[in-house]
Amino acid sequence: MTSHAQQNEVSLLNVIAPSFYDVHWDIADGIHTHYWLSGGRGSTKSSFISVEIILGIMADPLANAVVLRKVKDTLNESVKDQLIWAIESLGVADYWDMPEQKLVLTYKPTGQEIRFRGADKPKKIKSMKFAKGYTKFIWYEELDEFTSMEEVRMINQSLMRGGPKFIVFYSYNPPKSANNWVNTEKQLTRPDRLVHHSTYLTVSVEWLGQQFIIEAEHLRDTKPLAYEHEYLGTITGTGGEIFDNVQIRKISDAEIEDFYNIRRGLDFGYAIDPLSYNVMHYDRKHKRLYIYHEVYKYRMSNRELYYSHIRAENKKNEVVIADSAEPKSINELMQYGMLIRGVKKGPDSIEFGIKFLQDLEAIIIDDQRCPETAREFLTYELAKDANGNFKAGYPDKNNHSIDSVRYALNDDCMLFVESSKKPWTATPDYKPNNNKLDNDFDNFASDMSGSAWG
């Protein structure tokens, strides 16, 4: 606690909800840089962030803050008021200049500032300088209003300069769609990121007021799905998500060493579309797919692909299943000595391939090794028409890694197709012969290698 706050004998227990205690100590210990704080209404995530920024500036004479929303007009009555609340709740209002008309708060003893900016005018963000110190704190309020992670990253690159330590807050109510860029980015792993979710259920009724509870419970009883999204911050989905079985995590070198059922797929591309090459392990017994290697490049020649990437990765020269739409590229790679064959595409092959992937218990992707593959699988979603209805068929865009994975698993998909045509029910005393099943599969896959599916 800062000396001025201590003089006023304000306890943090009175301004920070219990669900944020661990986050507070994480910040105090300097463990992470990026804090992704999601939650529903009344979760007090914005209150917590405002308290941390005020405390942080008063404790560090070189610290300044920049608070951002997508649209500038929303700053004065949202984040600025929230920070003024924090100043007054901490009992340090005498030490702060809080002009009504200007989008700035100044710590009077040192001249440190909290500035407010709208991302609709990014040039003003790039040219920002402080008379003393640097931008230690950055706060993106209502993160889901921003266009993309690329937009946020560009702002961070401009602001995160000239200081030894940075703390970036991202606060938002998770969008409904699991494939929204915010929900997707949250799942990607970074060692300097802490992800935290909170709800009003961990907040004292005295803080929220009885009427808040009444409104929340009424919505819970009358419109439970809306309640889950608005008050619990649950990703309820739009109904258009294609893959709900994706898991993002690190796949260790030790795991990879134990992989035995390796599949490799290649989707050609060059100028407009990227080339995508993926390596994966298919655990047939547990219906799990592990994707741990990718090449995802624009304007890459077949020669560079083979000599700079595939030859080093595929040391045993095991077969690669490629898009048969480019026989010239396949032939070129064969001339280099690569073992490769194309898949023959037939009617409904895309649909069957995607259904096979959907039927898996889990598609596990290492996003550090395969960032583009993770992005594609997490964001692949049915398209909508002008009336907001879902279109038939699967979109043929942003699916290059998905296609290469389908090609790699073409033989496995055919077994899935055949088994779906022969429904049966096991008798109570049925005991599968796993060894026989594996042998049957291997024989079947061999027979189907020239099938008309791809």
Residue 186 in tokens = 């949250």
Q: Is residue 272 part of a domain?
A: yes
Q: Are residues 225 and 264 in the same domain?
A: no
Indicate the Cα dihedral angle 403, 404, 408, 412, nearest 10°: -20
Q: Is residue 155 part of a domain?
A: yes
Cβ–Cβ under 8 Å, residues 448 and 392:
no
Q: Are residues 212 and 274 in the same domain?
A: no
Q: Are residues 89 and 145 in the same domain?
A: yes
Q: Helix (H, G, I), strand (E, B), or coil: what is residue 28? A: helix
Q: Are residues 194 and 333 in the same domain?
A: no
Q: Is residue 271 part of a domain?
A: yes
Q: What is the pLDDT tens value at each position of the chain, 454 positions in all?
A: 444 544 456 688 889 999 999 999 999 999 999 999 999 999 999 999 999 999 999 999 999 999 999 888 777 778 999 999 999 999 999 999 999 889 999 999 999 999 999 888 766 777 678 989 999 999 999 999 999 999 999 999 999 998 999 999 999 999 988 778 999 899 898 999 999 999 999 999 999 999 999 999 999 999 998 999 999 999 887 778 899 899 999 999 999 999 999 999 999 999 999 999 999 999 999 999 999 999 999 999 999 999 999 999 999 999 999 999 999 999 999 999 999 999 878 778 898 899 999 999 999 999 999 999 999 999 898 888 887 788 888 989 999 999 999 999 998 888 777 666 554 333 333 334 444 334 443 443 444 344 333 3
Question: Chain-centre distance of CA 330, in angstroms?
Answer: 34
* Domain range for 199: 3-230
Q: Are residues 115 and 153 in the same domain?
A: yes
Indicate the Cα dihedral angle 263, 269, 274, 279, nearest 10°: 10
**Domain limit, last residue, from 230, 260, 287:** 230
- Count CA within 13 A, CB hemisphere, residue 144: 18
Q: Are residues 270 and 370 in the same domain?
A: yes
CATH no. for residue 174?
3.40.50.300
Q: Helix (H, G, I), strand (E, B), or coil: what is residue 282? A: strand
Q: Are residues 11 and 79 in the same domain?
A: yes
Secondary structure of 63-74 in HEC code, one letter for each residue: EEEEEEECCHHH
Q: Is residue 240 part of a domain?
A: no
DSSP string, 152-177: HHHHHHHHS-S-S--EEEEEEPPPS-
3-31 per-residue burial string, b: 16 or more CB within 10 A, e: under 16: ebbeeeebeeeebbbebbeebeeebeeee
Pairing verdict, β 34-39 and 167-172:
parallel
Q: Are residues 303 and 441 in the same domain?
A: yes
Is the alpha carbon torsion for 214, 216, 217, 221 positive or negative? positive
Which helix H or strand E contains 213, and what residues bound it?
helix 210-222
Neighbours of 269 (CB within 10 A): 20
Q: Is residue 238 part of a domain?
A: no
Q: Is residue 204 part of a domain?
A: yes
> CA-CA distance, 321 to 277, in Å (whole number)?
10
> CA-CA distance, 282 to 323, in Å (whole number)?
20
Neighbours of 59 (CB within 10 A): 14
Q: Is residue 185 part of a domain?
A: yes
Indicate the Cα dihedral angle 240, 241, 242, 248, nearest 10°: 170
Q: Are residues 222 and 159 in the same domain?
A: yes
Question: Is the whole model's pTM more than 0.85, yes or no?
Answer: no
Q: Are residues 150 and 10 in the same domain?
A: yes
Q: Starting at the earlier edge strand, list the strands of the sheet with 104-107.
A: 96-97, 104-107, 112-118, 63-69, 134-141, 167-172, 34-39, 193-198
Cβ–Cβ under 8 Å, residues 153 and 19:
no
Nearest Cα neighbor of 399 from 453, 323, 321 is: 323
Residue 143 in tokens = 């993160």
Q: Is residue 239 part of a domain?
A: no
CATH no. for residue 288?
3.30.420.280
Q: Are residues 42 and 185 in the same domain?
A: yes
**Domain limit, last residue, from 230, 256, 278:** 230
297-329 per-residue burial string, b: 16 or more CB within 10 A, e: under 16: beebebeebbeebbeeebeeeeebbbbeebeeb
Q: Are residues 200 and 251 in the same domain?
A: no
Residues annotated as catalytic are 142
> CA-CA distance, 291 to 263, in Å (whole number)?
9
> CA-CA distance, 293 to 23, in Å (whole number)?
34
The secondary structure of residue 389, as a DSSP letter, is P
**Domain limit, last residue, from 188, 203, 230:** 230
> CA-CA distance, 116 to 138, in Å (whole number)?
10
The number of distinct structural domains making up the chain is: 2
